[in-house]
Chains A and B, each alone.
Chain A
Amino acid sequence: MRRNFAVLLAAAAFLPGTLRGQGLRFTADAFGSQEIVQSHDGAALIPSFNRYTGLLLGGEGNLISERFVARLRYAQGRVTARSDTGVVGRDLVEGEALLGVRAMPWLTLWAGPTARAYTTTDGDQRWLLWTARASARGTLMPGRMQTYLELWGALSGNVANPAEKAGGRGADVGLEMRLGGEQSQLWGRLGYRIDSAHADGLRETVEAVTLSIVYGFPQ
């Protein structure tokens, strides 16, 4: 355990220098996300609608070159329904792996899979969507404050349990602000995200208000 920790520490110490040598930069962030899940099931014998809320914790990393960007994101937590409904809560895991091209200094085009899995009493329900995205950034105060807007649509997808083809779309909007002085590498991010995934008779809409601490200049 100590050995693994030492290896991780060494990697963290040397990674920025190594990446800079290759003309690469990275950002890493940790976030907490208050999520609201609205779940429709019209395929069941008795159509149902449930609303869940809960906190997810996660992290995101971006590897940025002059032209290309790669993003990995992971979060997990538990969402629960109101206690008076008697509906059982769900464990929730989300993740995405995206590759992007920086078409303009302010515009990046992305593609890649995004996945969400719920663990319920009836078993796991997994959504996998292959998405295409566009994200734009606008500067409010140079080097200090900026906004971003990301829109995505599913190119294809499926849901397991029940096995169905799936589609969806979503958006992410937010504000990023440098924390500390001009040389600080830390940024804060306040974001609002809404995703809607649907399959035959099923619809899951997830809203999230996210607070993140970001290391590195977000682009």
Chain B
Amino acid sequence: MKRLLVVLLFGCLFMPVVARGQSASDLLDKGIHAYSVREYDGGAWLLRRALAIDGSTASPLAPADVARALMYLTAIEVARNQRDSALSAARRLIVIDPKFRPDENTFTPQVIALVQEARRSSPSVSIRAPGDTEIRPGADVFVVRLGSATAPEVTAAVTTADGRMVQKLYTGTIRDSVDLRWNGLDASGNAPAAGRYSIVVTPSSRDRSAGGARGSWTLRLPLELARPAIDTTPLPAAPPDSLFRPERGDYRSAWHALAPGLVAGAAVLVLPKIVASGEHASSARLIVGGTIAIAGVAAFFSHHPGRAIPENERFNRNLRENWKRNVTEIARRNADRVRQARLVIRPGAPSLTTGDTP
């Protein structure tokens, strides 16, 4: 008895791990086998597990196998007397493949009747997405096909996970089929951030006012958006204060301006005595020396405290504007790179919610 308990305990611990390690088609086969031997609880678990595999851990089911899995899940839930769950599975089946016909030799009349009921009560709008798709936002398009035999009037949009609209894709009637084309940009022309989004299809207000289960429904195709890493240039730091020149004169800068003028002016007077002592220096040099000294005095007054120094103001303005221009240019190039980067769109399994969904 103890030994049996230990085996069961190990089974409970490792069964989910083993199941996770299996491929979706293995799980589907085992689920179908469980249905055939009337192991309905285990079969439901296996089929739900097969349908839940989204490609991140193992290969997901092919579209035809998804339809098979949902058909068997419907049959199992009918057998388990779980009518709501059976109806929900049948509606998912109709969304994925509106033309699906259950095999009358395999399934009981109750199951076939329930599928018919689901077909009648569902809006009979199907959505078909390609596999993982890579597009350049703004340049390429991601195409999803809506199909319907009843020509409903619908609105389709890309929304965020919390329901905010990213981009409206279509408003109008589905006559047989309509291709929804999304260029990977939001309404303001920017590429959205990576994350979870959905394409949501709802009936237009006119169709909704028809009432009943067909009047209110939401068809949702989950999308996962991913972006490969983009190499962008960091924005340059603002110029440090040490690079800016004082924009108002002070005593220090005034003396700095005066000193070279006075030194050079005095040098003109003194140098003949140093360079050629004994010679009679020409008085023409006094014109040069005087001019330099006057220029020095003028420079002193142009720097006197509190007075604006237009050259420095211009220099600082240029410094700031150059920096801003660089920031703008680099930001623009980065935005271009982000815009040109590819967007990977991974569609998930579509789901349908109707007014009578529990």
Q: Nearest A residue to B299 by beta-carbon distance? A: A140
Binary A-proximity of B288-326 (CB < 8 A = 1, otherwise 0): 110110011011001000000001101100000000000
Q: B276 at the A/B interface (Cβ < 8 Å)?
A: yes
**Main DSSP-derived SS at the A contact region:** strand
**Which of A5-13, A18-26, A57-65, A189-197 lies at the interface?**
A189-197
Cβ–Cβ contact A142 & B279, under 8 A:
no
Cβ–Cβ contact A194 & B311, under 8 A:
no
Name the one of A36, A144, A195 contacting B282, with C-beta atoms under 8 angstroms: A36
Name the one of B260, B268, B287, B288 contacting A139, with C-beta atoms under 8 angstroms: B260
Q: A95 at the A/B interface (Cβ < 8 Å)?
A: no
Cβ–Cβ contact A190 & B299, under 8 A:
no
- Give min CB distance, A219 to chain B, whole Å: 15
Cβ–Cβ contact B267 & A195, under 8 A:
no
Cβ–Cβ contact A192 & B288, under 8 A:
yes
Q: Nearest B residue to A53 by beta-carbon distance? A: B282
Cβ–Cβ contact A173 & B292, under 8 A:
yes
Complex: A191 Cα to B291 Cα, angstroms: 10
- Give min CB distance, B187 to chain A, whole Å: 46
Cβ–Cβ contact B311 & A144, under 8 A:
yes
Q: A141 at the A/B interface (Cβ < 8 Å)?
A: yes
Residues of B within 8 A of A149 (CB): 263-264, 267
Cβ–Cβ contact A173 & B271, under 8 A:
yes
Binary B-proximity of A158-186 (CB < 8 A = 1, otherwise 0): 00000000000111011101000010000
| Contacts between chains A and B (CB distance < 8 A), count | 102
Q: A16 at the A/B interface (Cβ < 8 Å)?
A: no
- Give min CB distance, B77 to chain A, whole Å: 79
Cβ–Cβ contact A192 & B268, under 8 A:
yes
**A window 91-114: CB within 8 A of B:** none
Binary B-proximity of A129-157 (CB < 8 A = 1, otherwise 0): 00000000111111111111100000000
Q: A80 at the A/B interface (Cβ < 8 Å)?
A: no
Q: Nearest A residue to B288 by beta-carbon distance? A: A192
Q: A209 at the A/B interface (Cβ < 8 Å)?
A: yes
Cβ–Cβ contact B259 & A138, under 8 A:
yes
Cβ–Cβ contact B264 & A190, under 8 A:
no
Q: Nearest B residue to A36 by beta-carbon distance? A: B282
Q: A29 at the A/B interface (Cβ < 8 Å)?
A: no
Name the one of A137, A174, A191, A207 contacting B272, with C-beta atoms under 8 angstroms: A207
**Main DSSP-derived SS at the B contact region:** helix
Residues of B within 8 A of A76 (CB): none
Q: A205 at the A/B interface (Cβ < 8 Å)?
A: yes
Cβ–Cβ contact B288 & A191, under 8 A:
yes
Q: B350 at the A/B interface (Cβ < 8 Å)?
A: no
Binary B-proximity of A62-90 (CB < 8 A = 1, otherwise 0): 00000000000000000000000000000
- Give min CB distance, B270 to chain A, whole Å: 9
**B window 13-69: CB within 8 A of A:** none
Cβ–Cβ contact A140 & B276, under 8 A:
no
Cβ–Cβ contact B288 & A190, under 8 A:
yes
**A window 22-70: CB within 8 A of B:** 34, 36, 38
Cβ–Cβ contact A194 & B272, under 8 A:
yes
Name the one of B264, B271, B312 contacting A147, with C-beta atoms under 8 angstroms: B264
Cβ–Cβ contact A34 & B299, under 8 A:
no
Name the one of A139, A175, A195 contacting B291, with C-beta atoms under 8 angstroms: A175
Cβ–Cβ contact B271 & A171, under 8 A:
yes
Residues of A within 8 A of B238 (CB): none
Which has the most chain B C-beta neighbours within 10 Å: A36, A138, A144, A171? A138
Cβ–Cβ contact A38 & B271, under 8 A:
no
Complex: A76 Cα to B263 Cα, angstroms: 30
Complex: A34 Cα to B282 Cα, angstroms: 11
Q: B257 at the A/B interface (Cβ < 8 Å)?
A: yes
Name the one of B292, B311, B315 contacting A174, with C-beta atoms under 8 angstroms: B292
- Give min CB distance, B105 to chain A, whole Å: 86
Residues of B within 8 A of A173 (CB): 264, 267-268, 271, 288-289, 292
Complex: A145 Cα to B295 Cα, angstroms: 8
Complex: A38 Cα to B256 Cα, angstroms: 37
Complex: A38 Cα to B277 Cα, angstroms: 12
Could you write out 21 A-B pairs with CB less than 8 Å apart?
Answer: A34-B284, A38-B280, A138-B260, A138-B263, A138-B264, A140-B298, A140-B299, A141-B311, A142-B315, A144-B311, A147-B263, A170-B275, A171-B267, A173-B264, A174-B288, A174-B292, A175-B292, A194-B281, A194-B285, A196-B276, A209-B285
- Interface residues of B, Cβ cutoff 8 Å to A: 245, 256-257, 259-261, 263-264, 267-268, 271-272, 274-276, 279-282, 284-285, 287-289, 291-292, 295-296, 298-299, 302, 311-312, 314-315
In the A-B complex, the 10 residue pairs with the closest CB atoms: A138-B260, A140-B299, A196-B276, A192-B288, A147-B264, A205-B276, A171-B271, A147-B260, A175-B292, A192-B285
Known A140-B298, A173-B271; 9 more pairs at CB < 8 Å: A36-B284, A139-B256, A139-B257, A139-B260, A141-B311, A147-B260, A173-B289, A173-B292, A182-B311
